[in-house]
Structure 1
Amino acid sequence: MSEVDSEVRTGEAAQDGPERAGSSGLILAAAALLWMAAMLRSAWATITGQDDVAMEVTSTAYAMPGAVSASLVAGAAVALAVRAFLTRGGRDPGATVRSILTTGAGLGIGLLGALPIFMINVEGWIYAVVAGTIAAAATIGGALASFRHTRVVAAAGAGAIAAFLVGVLLAFVQDDLLPALGAGNTAASQASAAGNFSLVQGVLGGLAAGLVAYRVLRRARRRSGTELKWPLYTLAGAGPGLLLVIAEILTRTAGARVLELAGKVSELELTVQRMLSGSRLNVGLIVLFVGAFTAMVAVGRSMGTPNSADPAGAAAPDSDAAAEPLDPASTSPKPASIGTDAAPVGMDPDEIERRARAD
């Protein structure tokens, strides 16, 4: 290996070291696991609390999207913690091995989350479908943790949790907020108010996601001492919305049979399922774009502030030279100097001495 290649590899290792050291993700993993456990507990209670078969099916369809989203983020967060443990002390198992380990960690979390849903009724295929979708979501989250910039994945996971918390807070005031958004006695006004509510939820969730993702990256920068390029801040801000979109795609594909079965209960239920599916996708897309824009603006404002490390008097010599009156002899035309140390012909001796002292 040449000396140049050795220096390049040494520089890359120096950059990767702070990246790994600043991405433990233990707090994020704990928060994501709590979110996943809460959604699974809510889904289990909702499903098992129904006596009617039709209500049990529709309740399963309502509970599945939230459990899938939480499992996706939890799989990524736990895989990040596993990756940080494996790479501590400067060790690097390699890209392929690292990808296998993070994906396996996500799969393990997914299987643990899928077990209680599957055990509701081991003879019914509907619970097997939901359990498989949850396991697939966590596995995909673990695969995302093998991304080179772990800080970006961690920031996206934290932003997704922030967007979820915004949705929970809005759910508590939904009944009071819908009339302000135009809900009336007609079905058309209620549908319009529901659309406006989704818009508000997406915008507020995107703002929270973008700001949280930006703050996570800035905090990691202070710990590691390395800065990321601004497009990665934008990607981190868009990450929470991207995770929501991936979760919705999984719900529509892997869990399609559950949604179809719920739609067969009645025409009204079919319409509701379609509206909810469209609303979830719209919220995810809004969070994606608003989060990306928020993070981009935040990092742009930080880039525009003056650097405190720059000398405050960097422009002082020029300003002093402009403010100091020039000697009349120095303003008169002079022939070109010969050599670098030669003084201009005809210059006043005092001026020559003053400039030498300044140099």
Structure 2
Amino acid sequence: MSEADSEVTGVEAAQERPERASSPGIVLAVASMLWTAAMLWSARVTITGHANAEMEVTSTAYAMPGAVSASLVAGAAVGVAVRRYLTRGGREPGPTVRFALPIGAGLAVGLLGALAIFTINTEGWIYAVVAGTIAAAATIGGTLASFRHPRVIAAACGGALAVFGVQALLSFAQDSLLPALGAGNTAASQASAAGYFGFVQGALGGLAAGLVAYRLMRHARRRGGSDVRWPLYALAGAGPGLLLIVSELLTRTAGARVLELAGKVSELELTVQRVLSGTRLNIGLVVLFVGAFTAMVAVGRTLGTPVAATESSPEPVSTAPSAPAQASPAQASDSVGTRKDD
């Protein structure tokens, strides 16, 4: 086997081995927990700020999707941080420990988040449903952290935090952007502008998600000394969109009773809930495709072809004088005979 073949075999073997979590999992875990705490605090303040029961129900329905998505990301980020702690010093835990502890960490995050909502009113079933949905989301996030390549999950969590940041910034500029997108005095123009605004949110969020995921994957390569195949970069870029879609599916299934109760308040509220649900799903899909494409373009710019470049480059021309060629024995004997004849 040649030296080049042995190097390629070694790289492929390194990629196939179980990967140690080398991404900055602790920083992502702290950031995701802070974001989740902020979302839960905002939801609690919004819900308890209304004395009217109908407004309390609708406020709960509005606050639930953001709390669920934040809990899902927090559970995954904390699970990755636990895996990084388990593999410090070059240790490699067994499969049971590698799967059980991240899931347990996600469950612990979910229980803390559920407690913040359930204690609003322990006698109301609506808060029990929201609390259970939040706990389920964080547990699913911890389950995702037991994935074979934890750096991909960490990059997806970082990209999801970037999406949350973009959405928060755009929400402050919403009043200025909607008129620019065609919002007028009619309901049709406002609905159309809201659709365009959701697309802008998804496109900018996907761009930020793909770039952040790519940078975190590169950071993990520098720390770990090994790289992964390029499809995993695309998966990391698409990860934030996948997390948003999973959280929306959880909201529609586990939290369906809350949305149905909010829709019974009025026909207008039912229409609003349907529009918001469709918008959230569309944003998740846009983030998925834009994030994957951005990450693929980013990693594609770093892929070189050194072998092809070497073959196409011309051979260097030497300017040093060539050494005189040594005569063969037959040529030497001929030259001696010629001198004798002379």
Gaps of 5+ in 2: 1-8, 323-327, 332-342
Counterparts of 1:132 and 1:24 in 2: how far apart (Å)?
Answer: 29
Contact 1:15 1:226 in 2 (8 A): no
What is the match of residue 279 of structure 1? 279
Counterparts of 1:145 and 1:211 in 2: how far apart (Å)?
Answer: 21
Counterparts of 2:245 and 2:267 in 1: how far apart (Å)?
Answer: 26
Return the offset for 1:314: 8.4
Counterparts of 2:117 and 2:182 in 1: how far apart (Å)?
Answer: 38
Question: Which of 317, 320, 331 is the matching residue for 2:317?
Answer: 320
Q: How does 1:109-148 map to 2 (within 5 A)?
A: 109-148=109-148
172 and 13 in structure 1: CA distance in 2 versus 1, 3 angstrom threshold: same
What is the match of residue 37 of structure 1? 37
| One-letter amino acid of the structure 1 residue matched with residue 317 of structure 2 | D
Q: How does 1:62-211 map to 2 (within 5 A)?
A: 62-211=62-211
Contact 2:15 2:228 in 1 (8 A): no
SS at match of 2:303: helix
Counterparts of 1:14 and 1:173 in 2: how far apart (Å)?
Answer: 44
What is the match of residue 268 of structure 2? 268
14 and 91 in structure 1: CA distance in 2 versus 1, 3 angstrom threshold: farther
| One-letter amino acid of the structure 1 residue matched with residue 178 of structure 2 | L
What is the match of residue 6 of structure 2? none
- Cα deviation per residue 1:246-300 (whole Å; 9 max; x = unaligned)? 0000000000000000000000000000000000000000000000000001100
Matched, 1:288 2:284: no
Counterparts of 1:148 and 1:188 in 2: how far apart (Å)?
Answer: 47
Please report the TM-score for the alignment, with normalisation by the length of structure 1: 0.82
Please report the TM-score for the alignment, with normalisation by the length of structure 2: 0.86
Counterparts of 1:14 and 1:177 in 2: how far apart (Å)?
Answer: 46
Counterparts of 2:252 and 2:188 in 1: how far apart (Å)?
Answer: 26
Counterparts of 2:320 and 2:289 in 1: how far apart (Å)?
Answer: 54
| One-letter amino acid of the structure 2 residue matched with residue 208 of structure 1 | A
Counterparts of 1:291 and 1:315 in 2: how far apart (Å)?
Answer: 35
Return the offset for 1:90: 2.4
List 4+ stretches of structure 1 deviating above 3 A: 11-17, 312-317, 323-326
Counterparts of 1:91 and 1:248 in 2: how far apart (Å)?
Answer: 37
Counterparts of 2:283 and 2:110 in 1: how far apart (Å)?
Answer: 24
SS at match of 2:317: helix
270 and 317 in structure 1: CA distance in 2 versus 1, 3 angstrom threshold: closer
97 and 13 in structure 1: CA distance in 2 versus 1, 3 angstrom threshold: farther
Contact 2:23 2:219 in 1 (8 A): no
- Cα deviation per residue 1:28-76 (whole Å; 9 max; x = unaligned)? 0010001100000000000000110000000000000000000000001
Counterparts of 2:279 and 2:64 in 1: how far apart (Å)?
Answer: 15
